[in-house]
Chains A and B, each alone.
Chain A
């Protein structure tokens, strides 16, 4: 059984007004328990709207969202409990910090779940460790932290709720390359350690290629592809038609293959080295055919 499943999910902004816009159009996808799913799509493809329906922040115009097989809108009064199980990290999550100390802010989510102060704090400390926040930072005001630290604190605030599914919308936007790699590594480590499902929305194809098991491609409100990462990126030309890229290294290999070289469009530089080595040994100049 899928941990999250959507059936004919449709979301229309401003229904019945001249500004009417269908942001998500009959999307039916299943997200498997424990997988790392990447979502890519051009700006305005409906990714953000789609993920906001997954935890009930937006109520679908039609269609259903099933969490562990149950319609999340079956009991609208209990929608909050869905939000604890599908944790959502928005873009620039550091803008949501508000408490006096970092620790208190991370405790906000668990506290809302009705946990005791001690339990909440324990979870907060554990979450802080996952995102690599030092203990001495926890007593500081969140507004004293650096940009990257704020981002970590905000993400910890969601992880602390211990959700079954963790959704991250562009978590690395605006971070320096080093901070970006570190944050993604930590998210990946969290994914492995807890075995929870992670959904990552990103514009960086390299990041998706490195971490995602499967990729969902959205275009103009529709889910156009959902497949293993390497299968999706093998369809590079189709992606380009949608205004998306494939990882640079995959792009090179795809071009080589179009020119007739016997290479597979792999996703990382290391794999590419393995693909290209035999060609170099042959002297390189011979075409495959």
Chain B
């Protein structure tokens, strides 16, 4: 049923990673992703993998969860790997008519696959250990300087928070409307594609109408509580950076410096 879909992927916990400041987590995740691309050889990549393993262990999230998020992108990884296999230079290992696999191609395939897997795992750590509200909070704070350019940072963050907040509500509503239409004999499980798309109309229209109703209600409720945008607004939950965050930044800096060093010392592995 629809209720099986959980909002985001946040898994509450008390691990070191959970306790980090969301702003730092967000920034570091971004940095790690950049450095995954800075790493141009296997030595650098190995450093990133090591860092990733450390972070994964510290997060206290069950390994099965990480496998689940990898399963979702398995196809993309295999597809990219297969493509890279055939586009490489170097010694020919196997060939058939116009296709050939070289040792360079094999290297590329492994390199790119590891890179994508790391990318997904790093972002998974962020979403597993940070609640959606914390994330939007962090984004609001990080994007604050953009206000100089008249970007409505607070409004964007508020919209994101509201959108996230209403996902479960709307799912519940969808479930209810689907039940009601099924009770009137709506058939949503059989028929061809055309038929199925058509059978969604009785669900989508009421859902649309109720979303608007909710939006009006929410706007009214916010106005009643004198909401007037972000100006002069204080926060209930202040974000604080602690020694933990400083340590995390230091560790990250060491690894990233290592990656740069590897890039300078060793030849690139991509062919």
Contact = CB atoms under 8 A, between A and B. Distances in A.
A244 B205 CA distance: 37
Contacts of B228: none
Contacts of B185: 80, 83-84, 109, 112-113, 161
Interface bracket on A = 20 to 34
A207 to B, nearest CB: 22
Interface in B48-92: none
A2 interface: no
Interface in B143-184: 173, 176-177, 179-184
A143 B209 contact: yes
B184 A98 contact: no
B195 interface: no
Interface in A143-181: 143, 157-158, 161
Interface string A77-105: 00010011001101001011110000000
Interface bracket on B = 10 to 19
A83 B182 contact: yes
A161 B183 CA distance: 10
Contacts, number: 56
A95 B202 contact: no
A136 B24 CA distance: 63
A143 B213 CA distance: 12
Interface of A is mostly: helix
Contacts of B15: none
A69 B184 CA distance: 23
B217 interface: no
Contacts of B183: 55, 57, 83, 87-88, 90, 158
A251 interface: no
A61 interface: no
Given A98-B205, A98-B206, A143-B209, A93 B180 contact: yes
A83 B184 CA distance: 7
A79 to B, nearest CB: 9
Nearest to A94: B206
A57 B179 contact: yes
13 contacts: A57-B183, A87-B183, A88-B180, A90-B180, A90-B183, A95-B180, A95-B206, A98-B201, A108-B184, A109-B184, A112-B184, A112-B186, A161-B185
Given A90-B180, A95-B180, 11 more contacts: A83-B184, A87-B183, A90-B179, A95-B176, A95-B177, A95-B206, A96-B177, A98-B209, A112-B186, A112-B187, A161-B184
